[in-house]
């Protein structure tokens, strides 16, 4: 029996990232348990097609039980708009030694987690680990990298080295906020533009979009600065265009959400920039326009930004 079975890994949901982390953790010898919403119980268990073309079946997820106490590591890789509900449901169910890992797009959940779990270790992370889900199949497309940082630590965190095994390619930061805002800039550009223009990520490299992209990024950087997070403008711009190039054949999650009539994360991505920008008096008019256009969009259309 692996020594890793001494620590339980709890994963909320069976989306792409949660499924990929689950397989990786299982391959490292950890006990993994999934928690899903009741409607998902009607669907067959998820299978993961790994990058080496091996296929792994996940165990059927279970519902959170009011009698169950979760200890070990609790990873929350759900849609941004689901995080608040998940944290509220977890509030009475976490053991005092549990570590919470927030692993999702968008911003705003750290403060809520700190309020609900003032005595727990809380880790915020952003990842480029990638895959896509179709029906009950998750296809792994890239290993990517994960940036992580402890944002609340009221006791020695013994789980940091375990997370290094559970999540591939983790880089730890004393201050995770610059990495989170950089990833937010990537999402603020790629997600709404690809959804509105109905194009794959690579089409955003077109030179006629560069000015708009620079404005979107400058507004994100302005909001970050208002929150006392200082970013290097050139590095953020380079990161955004590098991601566009590296994922040029992919369709963004927001594009796919719009295409399939699902709720998007726009209010936690560009919407977060708009809310904080208004709070601090920062010009966020371009992000405001993207927010409004996505909220008004019912299906992909050819949309030109002038």
Q: What is the mean pLDDT of each run of 10 residues along the chain (306 residues)?
A: 70 91 94 81 85 90 80 94 93 91 93 93 93 89 92 72 94 95 97 96 95 98 97 97 92 92 95 98 98 82 39
For residue 103, the cross-strand partners are 125
CA distance 14 to 8: 17
Confidence (pTM): 0.90
**What pLDDT does residue 65 have?**
73
Q: How distant, in Å, are the alpha carbons of 21, 51, 235, 290 from that of 25?
A: 6, 15, 32, 37
Closest among 121, 131, 130, 232 to 181, alpha carbons compared = 232
**What pLDDT does residue 211 have?**
96
Where do the H-state alpha helices sit in the chain? 16-27, 83-90, 109-116, 160-166, 177-197, 210-226, 233-246, 253-259, 270-280, 285-296
**What pLDDT does residue 97 have?**
87
**What pLDDT does residue 117 have?**
94
Domains of the chain: 3-174 (3.40.50.720), 178-296 (1.10.1040.10)
Secondary structure tally for the chain: helices H, strands E: 10, 11
CA distance 102 to 21: 13
């Amino acid at each position: 029996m692996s020594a890793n079975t001494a620590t339980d890994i709890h994963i909320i949901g069976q989306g792409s990232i949660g499924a990929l982390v689950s397989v990786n953790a299982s391959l490292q010898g950890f006990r993994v348990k999934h928690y899903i919403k009741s409607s998902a119980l009607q669907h067959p268990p998820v299978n993961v097609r790994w990058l080496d073309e091996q296929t792994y079946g996940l165990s059927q997820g279970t519902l959170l039980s009011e009698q169950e106490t979760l200890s070990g590591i609790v990873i929350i890789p759900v849609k941004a708009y689901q995080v608040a509900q998940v944290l509220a449901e977890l509030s009475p169910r976490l053991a005092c030694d549990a570590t919470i890992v927030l692993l999702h797009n968008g911003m705003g959940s750290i403060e809520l987690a700190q309020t609900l779990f003032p005595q727990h270790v809380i880790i915020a992370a952003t990842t480029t680990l990638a895959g896509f889900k179709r029906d009950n199949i998750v296809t792994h497309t890239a290993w990517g990298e994960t940036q992580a940082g402890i944002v609340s630590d009221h006791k020695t965190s013994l789980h940091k080295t375990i997370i290094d095994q559970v999540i591939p390619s983790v880089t730890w930061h004393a201050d995770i906020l610059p990495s989170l805002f950089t990833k937010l800039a990537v999402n603020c550009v790629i997600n709404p533009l690809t959804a509105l223009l109905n194009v794959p990520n690579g089409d955003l490299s077109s030179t006629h979009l560069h000015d708009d992209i620079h404005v979107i990024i400058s507004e994100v950087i302005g909001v970050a600065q208002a929150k006392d997070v200082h970013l290097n403008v050139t590095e953020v711009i380079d990161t955004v265009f590098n991601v566009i190039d590296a994922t040029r054949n992919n369709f963004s999650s927001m594009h796919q959400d719009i295409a399939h009539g699902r709720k998007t994360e726009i209010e936690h991505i560009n919407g977060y920039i708009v809310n904080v920008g208004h709070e601090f008096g920062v010009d966020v008019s371009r992000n405001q326009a993207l927010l409004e256009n996505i909220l008004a969009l019912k299906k992909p259309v050819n949309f030109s930004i002038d």
